[in-house]
Structure 1
Amino acid sequence: MSEASQDASSPSGREIWIEKYRPQTLQDIYGQEDTIERLQSYVDRDDLPHLMFAGPAGVGKTTSATAIARELYGDDWRGNFLELNASDERGIDVVRDRIKSFARSQMSRDHDYRLIFLDEADSLTDDAQSALRRTMEQFSDTTRFILSCNYSSKIIDPIQSRCAVFRFSPLSEDAIRRQVEDIATAEGIETTAEGIDALVYYADGDMRRAINALQAAATTGEVVDEEGVFTVTSTARPEDIREMVGAAVDGDFPAARAKLATLLDDVGMAGGDIIDQLHRSVWDFDLADREAARLMERIGEADYRIAEGANERVQLEALLASLALDG
């Protein structure tokens, strides 16, 4: 456990747990073992190239960047580490001004280079990326860049070719379960096995989602159980999704429509969230391959229409109706 993980002295709910339990070193990070091992070798040699971290949200990209800085610079890490979020500051002026100003500032004699961490770099405009490429070349002797993005394809090739690319995959269920159980133990929270399973299901590979859901569930009851987790996250139980789809496939559209209404009105789910759960659960419905393929096609069509602004309820009912008519 990290130093932050061991500090559980404050009352439950008084701090944001994703920050309180953020790993302080690379070895404290749950999951991503192969990636962490390669990064650790760079740190041990103190020979860091430009890095690019690509992957979905909540899988350890930002945590890895700050952990590298802590291990390289120790207590001086904040003075040698500049963090920028490109989604908020997308223009070319950010690259020209803030990054260049930091790269040009006087360095400590104890270190050969500084780190600049650019989060959500795929939000940078093409002009800003071109400016960033030139800046990376200009200050390569004294500065190393770590770029974080969800989609590496949105980063121009000249930048990608200058970086060692690390792809972070969604975290395993085991990694999320271990982290959640450790935090619950540190905070003195009583949990049930079904509650932990519900947190893992809701997280879907995203550690941030799991920890935030744990903190929310811990403030609403004495025990974090399955019902509490699904309530605070407005998530449908897998069996409810399975029952809704099963009724539609069997041709019982009124029953499927009634279950959908329950999820939208009583559970309070958004249409996009129902689409996401349907997509995750397609292969758990015990459907024939042809039926599964047809369901996937309908899900994709409904997802596109909802994203374009169509009415969620109409599109979801149309999805169930098409399954019932084909059934």
Structure 2
Amino acid sequence: MAPVLQTSQPWVEKYRPKQVKDVAHQDEVVRVLTNTLETTNCPHMLFYGPPGTGKTTTALAIAHQLFGPELYKSRVLELNASDDRGINVVRTKIKDFAAVAVGSGQRKGGYPCPPYKIIILDEADSMTEDAQNALRRTMETYSKVTRFFFICNYISRIIEPLASRCAKFRFKPLSEEIMTSRILHICKEEGLNLDAEALSTLSNISQGDLRRAITYLQSAARLFGSSISSEDLISVSGVIPKEVVEAFLAACKGGNFDLANKEVNNVIAEGYPVSQMLSQLFEMVVEADDVSDEQKARICKKLGETDKFLIDGADEYLQLLDVASNTMRALCNMPQEFSYDC
């Protein structure tokens, strides 16, 4: 069998930091965890923050630095959102793994190998409340031989009894400078050419998510070769071109419903996701200088309601048309529609 080419590896994995000290932009987290690795006295941990900021990378790096490749598989249990992590799994798989004691700490291959195991629960905020409650007792009972690492985007979805048992680490969104630096490093390694405009575009469309930025970059490189433009990145990202959103908003400002309806049909016909349209329209309305605060409030209120309707399965065309008519009313200072409550 022919060997698998290295180029087939996703760049997200290829350039994933292997050590905690290499994680970008999370200086406070890295400093504390580096000290933790030196003492090997590791508490239960809760990593939270936006996606693509290094939470999972940090958890995996800690586990690899503590146990090395030899003991990693026997000492570390990884469960993410694709695994069943209901109450039955907590009572069986997690509890069984947590209950088994390990030998006293002996260094192997230069790794500390402390006398405990690690359970990494990625996307922990998607676990049911019952499953989280079932974990409380497991954490207390087996804390001498097992450490839990919880990874989530929203700490508010982790029940307080679990959160209070963990050392909490907040991961910040990555700044444009940090992202640009990392992307330029990958471009140098892969022989890509990105100009300043393309770099800025990549940072904007990925919104502080480095994983998303690297994925867009690899997709564009596969499609367009080594020289990548701003337009190439937009086309692979699913972001709606700025001129489409501007044309929609301009039609609403003009007060011509037929023109607005035409723009709505254009968005639907092109297959653009309406949820993405709402997101970009929100940003454009908020930054607009020629729209009053009251008008912005009316429009943004409607955008929020429409987003909820779309999540509930409403028709995209009708919802975007509703947004267009309400935006037109707000921008033309027409009175709001009356609602009749029973």
- Give the TM-score, by structure 2 length: 0.85
1:162 Cα deviation after fit: 0.5
**SS of residue matched to 2:223:** coil
Distance 1:118 1:45, change over 3 A: same
Alignment of 1:281-292 (within 5 A): 281-286=284-289, 287-292=291-296
Instruction: Tell whether 2:14 aligns with 1:24.
Output: no
Instruction: Tell whether 2:88 aligns with 1:85.
Output: no
1:135 Cα deviation after fit: 0.8
Identify the residue that residue 123 of structure 1 maps to in structure 2: 126
- Distance in 1, Cα, partners of 2:237 & 2:264: 17
**SS of residue matched to 1:31:** coil
- 2:228 corresponds to which of 220, 224, 227: 224
Question: Retained in 2: the 8 A contact 1:251–1:323?
Answer: no
Question: Retained in 1: the 8 A contact 2:45–2:169?
Answer: yes
Question: Retained in 1: the 8 A contact 2:251–2:263?
Answer: no
| Rg comparison, structure with higher value | 2
Question: Retained in 1: the 8 A contact 2:198–2:228?
Answer: yes
Runs of at least 5 residues in structure 2 that lack an aligned partner in the other structure: 107-113, 333-342
Identify the residue that residue 294 of structure 1 maps to in structure 2: 298
- Distance in 1, Cα, partners of 2:246 & 2:31: 40
Identify the residue that residue 192 of structure 2 maps to in structure 1: 189
- Give the TM-score, by structure 1 length: 0.88
- Distance in 1, Cα, partners of 2:285 & 2:20: 35
- 1:34 corresponds to which of 17, 28, 32: 28
Amino acid at match of 1:71: Q
Amino acid at match of 2:318: V
Distance 1:259 1:226, change over 3 A: farther
1:188 Cα deviation after fit: 0.8
**SS of residue matched to 2:52:** coil
Distance 1:280 1:208, change over 3 A: farther
Amino acid at match of 1:72: L
RMSD of aligned residue pairs (Cα, Å): 2.1
Question: Retained in 2: the 8 A contact 1:87–1:124?
Answer: no
Distance 1:22 1:138, change over 3 A: same
Distance 1:87 1:273, change over 3 A: same
Amino acid at match of 1:53: F
Distance 1:159 1:229, change over 3 A: same
Question: Retained in 1: the 8 A contact 2:240–2:276?
Answer: no
1:44 Cα deviation after fit: 2.7
- 1:159 corresponds to which of 162, 176, 181: 162
Distance 1:113 1:169, change over 3 A: same
Identify the residue that residue 5 of structure 1 maps to in structure 2: none
Identify the residue that residue 68 of structure 2 maps to in structure 1: 74
Which deviates more from structure 2 when the two are superposed, residues 214-223 or residues 275-284?
Answer: 275-284
Instruction: Tell whether 2:54 aligns with 1:60.
Output: yes
Runs of at least 5 residues in structure 1 that lack an aligned partner in the other structure: 1-8
- Distance in 1, Cα, partners of 2:297 & 2:98: 52
CA offset digits 1:185-217 (Å, max 9, x no partner): 111112222222222122112222111111111
1:127 Cα deviation after fit: 2.5
**SS of residue matched to 1:219:** helix
Which deviates more from structure 2 when the two are superposed, residues 311-320 or residues 276-285?
Answer: 276-285
Question: Retained in 1: the 8 A contact 2:245–2:280?
Answer: yes
Amino acid at match of 2:65: E
CA offset digits 1:262-282 (Å, max 9, x no partner): 34323x311111112223333
Which deviates more from structure 2 when the two are superposed, residues 122-131 or residues 154-163?
Answer: 122-131
Instruction: Tell whether 2:325 aligns with 1:325.
Output: no
Distance 1:295 1:103, change over 3 A: same
